[in-house]
Amino acid sequence: MPIATIGRTFRFESAHFLPKVPESHRCRNLHGHNYRVEIVLRGEIDERGFVKDFGEVDAAVTPLIAQVDHKLLNEVPGLTNPTAEIIARWFLDHLAAAVRVTVWENNDCWAEVSR
Ligand SMILES: [Zn+2]
């Protein structure tokens, strides 16, 4: 059976600061981003014609978005140092079916974590 790949993009807006960069680094200061996160799944196409129903993807991801949207990310468990890489890993860790997560902090900067 061929393997198919699907993706679904979500958005959230959050504040953060990066505590492990030097004092002089601008990301040490509290600031915000309009984040975009893409969740990617891979698998065989089932009898319904899906790798996964996008509605099922929504049901799994929406509670995670609720944990980070309009929040100070540094206060979310697991995100005390909320770089894009660590935010992507946090989503991947909470989504057993996902194989890749990409987080965009803006139009130009992104990080991807996969298994
Ligand atoms: Zn930032």
pLDDT tens-digit series, residues 67-83 = 999 999 999 999 999 99
Q: State in Å: Cα 92 to ligand 1 middle.
A: 20
* 47 pLDDT tier (thresholds 50, 70, 90): very high
CATH superfamily entry for domain 3-114: 6-pyruvoyl tetrahydropterin synthase/QueD (3.30.479.10)
CA atoms of 11 and 107, how far apart (whole Å): 13
Q: Residues 103, 111: contact at Cβ < 8 Å?
A: yes
From 25, 31, 70, 75, the catalytic residue: 70
33 is catalytic: no
Q: Is 112 a catalytic residue?
A: no
How many angstroms is it from 79 CA to the middle of ligand 1?
Answer: 13
Pull the structure tokens for residue 46: 């089932």
Q: In this structure, what are the phi and psi dihedrals at residue 59, rounded to the nearest 5 degrees?
A: -65, -35
105 noted as active-site residue: yes
* Helix, strand or coil, per DSSP, at residue 89: helix
Question: For 14-27, how does the pLDDT look when each residue is reduced to its tens digit (9 = 90+)?
Answer: 999 999 999 999 99
State the amino acid at position 54 in one-letter form: F
Q: Compute the average pLDDT of residues 4-20.
A: 98
Helix (H, G, I), strand (E, B) or coil at 73: helix
Ligand 1 centre from 22 Cα, in Å?
14
Read off the amino acid at residue 98.
Answer: A
User: From the CA of 20, how far away is ligand 1's center (Å)?
Assistant: 12
